[in-house]
Structure 1
Amino acid sequence: MGISSHRFIQIKLLIMYLNFKKSAEVDKIFREIDGFDLVAWNCMISRHAQSGDLEEACRLFEKMPDRNAITWTALITGFMKSRKVDDAVWYFERNPFQNVVSWTAVISGFVQNGLVCEALMLFYRMLHSGTAPNEITFSCVLGSCANTGNFGLGMGVLGLIVKTGFEGDVSLSNSLMTFCLRMGDRDLAMRVFNDMEERDVFSWTAVLDVYVEMGELTEARRIFDEMPQRNEVSWSAMIARYSQSGNAEEALKLFSQMLYDGFKPNISCFSSVLGALASLEALKIGMNVHNHVIKIGIEDDVFIGSTLIDMYCKCGKTEDGRQVFDLISSRNIVSWNSMVAGYSYNGQFEEAKELFQRMPMKNVVTWNALISGYVQNEHCAKVFDVFDDMLLSGAVPNESTFSSILRACASLSSLEKGKNLHGKVVKLGIQHDVFMGTALTDMYAKSGDIESSMRVFDRMPKKNEISWTAMIQGLADNGLAEESILQFEEMLKTAVLPTELTFLAVIFACSHCGLVDKGLKYFESMKNVYGIEPRERHYTSVVDLLARAGHLDEAEDFIKKMPFQPEANALAALLSACSIYGNEEIGERTAKKLWEMEKENSSGYILLSNIYASTGRWSDVSRVRRLMREKGLKKSGGCSWIEVRNEVHTFFVGGGSHPLSAETHRILDLLWSEMIL
């Protein structure tokens, strides 16, 4: 059309090409502009400053015959973005056009560079200079107040916001909500949200964070579903919360929906999803997510790498986890810990220790990774050696460390070691921690000291569902079934809701004191009252409940009506009861099912043999024993242990592996001869 040389058109073309980062076209148009044009020069300075080419920006700035507020602010913003704060301040102090935009640029730059105190001091100067702040200034200052924890100053700023009439601004209201949340005043944050006449996606995301931070997942999901718009942050917040709360399936459903709706996950979102996949041991989906991560080029990110390592190792693929670890160019202690924990979790302790020795630095999480691995793989005796090394290294154990060590004590019934650890916990002042109290309650109960267990439990200032379950189970395991049921009834009076494990413990207690009707009532209430779907273990417990009480027909009928194939333990429980009550008919049917399910297990043969023996059917006893011999099955040997001077000694029937076995047998022979005499 022949109008490309028109000044107005040239400036618009220049801005368009700058926005699309077309350097060649930008330079061509800039050269074609006749004479000096302030707008064009400002555009060029802004372009170079924002891209980090400050040398060229300064060269153009010095050549300019004339400048305005935009010129100075563009240069100041560029220096702040490049973290050259002193240079930015130097230009600001010499700026003859100090207006609200230039003041805000420096305040914002201070906040972005972590200099929140300097930002607040400059804000004071701005007010004294007579320059009125705008909504962006107030947002930056509120961020500074939140970072310094200065709630009083923030409330003063709120007063200024109302006084200057900016309280209706959406962006500023969002900043105010964020400030209130950072200061822990959720009620005020909700009041700000409810008073907003107009809301955007950030407003809804901020209020979503309120419920997410409070842990009120149901209410957070309601807000999420009501949001007229969502962004990556709101999706990530919900996915992370579901993953952290143990609801991995729902986290994955949301992630799929997020992708379907066209949103791009951020690093935080991928980390949450991979964490959910790790807990589900969903290797195939995890590999698909890994491929997605590679496609968008963030596989080298240290946080993504750490969660990938964790996912592969939880799925038993330590080689793949190690491959990810080796590809991380800039490893931090989190990635090292993830790999050590992965090896340890899978029982590959040689590889774990080799990597442990190579670590440039270690923290308490590193030691905990080794300790928890030994506990999970039932190498409890090794745990104490690692714990001693940890103490010698100068590392201070935390609640997680003691929780794992106490689990080892409980597994070995090592009461003395447990008491010593309890003393260390008290010295560190962490005995009132809910997880610590739970671990101590469990340790004492499993070591047979139920009185100490109850004392620890009663002294806990706060109890959660795990604490109550540990106490209920501990009482039941120690033969105090009625007390266990009473404890469960006490729990129901509190605000703490029972879990799957709680019901497992209380049904077990009912089984051991013959309270069939009560046990069945608790089982029915799982789904009808608490919305908990019973699992195989709960059905097995009900079979045991009925069978122990002699209700063998009901137990067999209950097995037939199960919504899934019964566990071997359910059949074994019924078969054991048949042995006690001498019911050959049900016993034979159950034994056949158990043999089909577990062909290499001798328990079914032994129990049926006992049934025949109790009724004098010796030929059938011989037949069952002959079947065992033909299949090469043997009754597993018994095992016992004793703790002497803080050392646990284990003995097996017919075994001679203990280093003092010969000496022990000599003493036993001597005692036996003395007893005969």
Structure 2
Amino acid sequence: MMGGLGRIDGVVEALEMFRMMSRKGVRIDSISLSAVLSVCAKGGEYDEFGCYENGDRLLRNVVLGEQIHGLAFKLGFERDLYLSNSLLDMYAKNGIMKSAEMVFHTLGKPSVVSWNIMIAGYGQKGNSGKAIECFQRMQFSGFKPDAVTYINMLAACIKCGDVDTARQMFDNMSCPSVISWNAIISGYSQNENHREAIDLFREMQFQSVKPDRTTVTVILGSCAGMAFLEGGKQVHAALQKAALHTDNYVAGGLIGMYSKCGKIERAEHIFSSMPELDIVCWNSMIAGLTLNSLNREAFMLFKQMRQGRMLPTEFSYATVLSCCTKLSSLFQGRQVHSQIVKDGYESDVFVGTALVDMYCKCGDIDGARKHFDMMPVRNIVTWNEMIHGYAQNGYGDQAVHLYEDMIASGAKPDAVTFIAVLTACSHSGLVDLGFRIFNSMKSEHGIDPELDHYTCIIDCLSRAGHFHDAELLMEKMPYRDDPIVWEVVLSSCRVHGNVSLAQQAAEELFRLDPESSTPYVLLANIYSSLGRWNDVRVIRELMSEKQIVKDPGYSWTEHKEQDTCLFVG
């Protein structure tokens, strides 16, 4: 009964059954204890940042598991291998590897199962080094790895992004199952090596291994990642032949593939033809509309989903908040925020980050910071969004202060963090501070500056009129022939009336990007601001001669809860 209840996630009922058994005086043996330990092994699941999704449940299960461990010792079952493996499994699945190691070291003679549990535990924690070490020790101790060993090693390496080692494990399997094929294909797909994933999918079929719903969904993701529409269509045709195209999980993959390949009508057709829709299909369709800049339609579909009494997930809310952001609709964003609070998702790190982004990009920087400060958990993306929000709204000092708070909190900045804080320094004229932060990237944080970082610091120097320093940096950097850098310089030359450098920058842009209207327009604006109308006429004639057309710009305003698009030529 305890085992059955545990398998259907009836954890509380299974534990109550164990208490009832004890109260009734039924003799407790090692099988009883193993059954209740298997229930305690159903701990929280790890998210992609290595945090447990359900911390309260984890704590409860670990405490109960430790109590069972004490009872097993008291009853003299500490040397029972079956029970010891159950203890190992409970600690490993709850991520308590130190306790698992302690149990493992007390085993007189571990079995292959014992080694497999330890490898799986290290893999779940994302520690592929420990998993590989355990795998090697297992072989050194005279144990032959079985299919489960290789699957656990495969999962451990893929979780850590070590696809090369995972491939070695896969190639060592004499007859890999569909689970193993799925694992290695997913590993390549997650690391954006989509070509290798598709090649393995073909090889899998040559080996007469029948793909399942997981396989085809992963491959559809790889086809989408490569914009390989023809391959996606072939998979779709095979799915129709196998009558799998109506499976909700597979349909979500098809909707995502067609959306990412720009065929939103095909995605909508699949969505509307489904006999029954689950949350995965709704989320895929909403995300697909957003991806194709159909944000109003995505927002309306979200409302339709709610009216159909389908409960949104964290992904649903994060996606619809991005719609509000792209529509610059603070009114709708606040409505969604209220619903998020009502549904209890405000503490979710992904939803919280999307809220920070929405408030920042809709101009409510105080609302963004208020929510940021209330978040119980923040990841690197959350910090980056808030720093960038300050930068984009002209609060350079606050952006730098928040960057310093981030460093002080122990969070490790990434390349995006430095783009955000350098942008803040550029927009607020914090030249010396920006240069110091730029120089600290490599020396203090081990991050090599890329094009965007050089662009930010050159923009910072040029805006402040430090053209000599900007030119010196441009001579040393590896991205001198990138048009964006010269556009930044040309734009700043207009502000400071530096005609000679402006002409040099324009000439570089004419050479690097002949079809772009930007250098012509910026140079003409510099001449017009100085009253050099003959030079303006020459530029316009040159544009006409080369058939260069300026792209129209537009702005977006929200008036009385209605969105209005104002096009400006």
| Structure 2 residue 236 is matched with structure 1 residue 325 | yes
1:52-131 correspondence runs (5 A): none
Once residues 284 and 598 of structure 1 are traced to their aligned partners in structure 2, the CA distance between those partners, rounded to angstroms, is 31
Residue 603 to residue 145, structure 1, CA distance change in 2 (3 Å): closer
What SS class does the counterpart of residue 162 from structure 2 fall into?
helix
Matched AA of 1:424: Q
1:359-508 correspondence runs (5 A): 359-508=274-423
1:565-584 correspondence runs (5 A): 566-584=481-499
1:239-638 correspondence runs (5 A): 239-242=157-160, 250-259=161-170, 261=172, 266-279=177-190, 281-328=192-239, 329=242, 331=244, 332-564=247-479, 566-615=481-530, 617-638=532-553
State the partner residue of 1:236. Answer: 154
Once residues 6 and 345 of structure 2 are traced to their aligned partners in structure 1, the CA distance between those partners, rounded to angstroms, is 37
State the partner residue of 2:57. Answer: none
Cα contact 1:277–1:286 (8 A) shared by 2:
yes
- The TM-score normalised by the length of structure 2 is 0.82
Cα contact 1:305–1:335 (8 A) shared by 2:
yes
| Structure 2 residue 117 is matched with structure 1 residue 206 | yes
What SS class does the counterpart of residue 400 from structure 2 fall into?
helix
Once residues 101 and 296 of structure 2 are traced to their aligned partners in structure 1, the CA distance between those partners, rounded to angstroms, is 53
Higher relative contact order (CA 8 A, sep 6+): 2
Cα contact 1:309–1:338 (8 A) shared by 2:
yes
Matched AA of 1:236: L
Once residues 109 and 542 of structure 1 are traced to their aligned partners in structure 2, the CA distance between those partners, rounded to angstroms, is 62
Once residues 485 and 368 of structure 2 are traced to their aligned partners in structure 1, the CA distance between those partners, rounded to angstroms, is 30
1:272-307 Cα offsets, whole Å, 9 max, x none, are 443444455544323211122213333431111111
Cα offset for 1:262? 5.6
Once residues 617 and 129 of structure 1 are traced to their aligned partners in structure 2, the CA distance between those partners, rounded to angstroms, is 100
Residue 586 to residue 202, structure 1, CA distance change in 2 (3 Å): farther
| Structure 2 residue 114 is matched with structure 1 residue 189 | no
Cα offset for 1:414? 0.8
Residue 201 to residue 162, structure 1, CA distance change in 2 (3 Å): farther
Cα contact 2:157–2:166 (8 A) shared by 1:
yes
What SS class does the counterpart of residue 363 from structure 2 fall into?
coil
**How many residues are paired up?**
532
Cα offset for 1:648? 1.1
- The TM-score normalised by the length of structure 1 is 0.70
**Aligned sequence identity (%):** 30
1:571-615 Cα offsets, whole Å, 9 max, x none, are 210111222223333323322222233222100112223344455
Cα offset for 1:388? 2.1
Residue 613 to residue 292, structure 1, CA distance change in 2 (3 Å): same
Cα contact 1:511–1:519 (8 A) shared by 2:
yes
Cα contact 2:79–2:108 (8 A) shared by 1:
no
Matched AA of 1:167: R
Once residues 470 and 111 of structure 2 are traced to their aligned partners in structure 1, the CA distance between those partners, rounded to angstroms, is 59
Once residues 493 and 64 of structure 2 are traced to their aligned partners in structure 1, the CA distance between those partners, rounded to angstroms, is 73
Cα RMSD after superposing both structures:
3.6
Cα offset for 1:370? 1.4
1:92-171 correspondence runs (5 A): 142-143=37-38, 146=41, 152=64, 155-156=67-68, 159-160=71-72, 167=79, 169=81
Once residues 129 and 635 of structure 1 are traced to their aligned partners in structure 2, the CA distance between those partners, rounded to angstroms, is 85
Once residues 334 and 474 of structure 1 are traced to their aligned partners in structure 2, the CA distance between those partners, rounded to angstroms, is 36
State the partner residue of 2:132. Answer: 224
> Structure 1 unaligned runs (5+)?
1-105, 243-249, 655-677
Cα offset for 1:411? 1.6
Residue 543 to residue 159, structure 1, CA distance change in 2 (3 Å): same
Once residues 320 and 433 of structure 1 are traced to their aligned partners in structure 2, the CA distance between those partners, rounded to angstroms, is 36
Residue 444 to residue 342, structure 1, CA distance change in 2 (3 Å): same
Cα offset for 1:509? 0.6
Cα contact 1:232–1:263 (8 A) shared by 2:
no
Cα contact 2:287–2:319 (8 A) shared by 1:
yes
Cα contact 1:536–1:566 (8 A) shared by 2:
no
1:356-390 Cα offsets, whole Å, 9 max, x none, are 11213212221111111222222222222212221
Once residues 639 and 109 of structure 1 are traced to their aligned partners in structure 2, the CA distance between those partners, rounded to angstroms, is 62
Matched AA of 1:549: A
Matched AA of 1:179: M
Once residues 287 and 406 of structure 1 are traced to their aligned partners in structure 2, the CA distance between those partners, rounded to angstroms, is 33
Matched AA of 2:278: N
Residue 111 to residue 234, structure 1, CA distance change in 2 (3 Å): same
Cα contact 1:278–1:315 (8 A) shared by 2:
no
Once residues 510 and 441 of structure 1 are traced to their aligned partners in structure 2, the CA distance between those partners, rounded to angstroms, is 21
Cα contact 2:37–2:68 (8 A) shared by 1:
no
Once residues 414 and 254 of structure 2 are traced to their aligned partners in structure 1, the CA distance between those partners, rounded to angstroms, is 32
Cα contact 2:154–2:170 (8 A) shared by 1:
no
What SS class does the counterpart of residue 564 from structure 2 fall into?
strand
Cα contact 2:289–2:297 (8 A) shared by 1:
yes
Matched AA of 2:407: L
Matched AA of 1:294: Q
1:10-33 Cα offsets, whole Å, 9 max, x none, are xxxxxxxxxxxxxxxxxxxxxxxx
The 10-residue stretch of structure 1 (159-168 or 569-578) with the greater mean CA deviation from structure 2? 159-168
> Structure 2 unaligned runs (5+)?
44-60, 140-144
What SS class does the counterpart of residue 641 from structure 1 fall into?
strand
Once residues 193 and 170 of structure 2 are traced to their aligned partners in structure 1, the CA distance between those partners, rounded to angstroms, is 18
1:629-648 correspondence runs (5 A): 629-648=544-563
What SS class does the counterpart of residue 566 from structure 2 fall into?
strand
The 10-residue stretch of structure 1 (281-290 or 384-393) with the greater mean CA deviation from structure 2? 281-290
Cα offset for 1:232? 1.2
What SS class does the counterpart of residue 529 from structure 1 fall into?
helix
Once residues 617 and 130 of structure 1 are traced to their aligned partners in structure 2, the CA distance between those partners, rounded to angstroms, is 100
Residue 290 to residue 583, structure 1, CA distance change in 2 (3 Å): same
Cα contact 2:62–2:91 (8 A) shared by 1:
no
Matched AA of 2:150: E
What SS class does the counterpart of residue 525 from structure 2 fall into?
helix
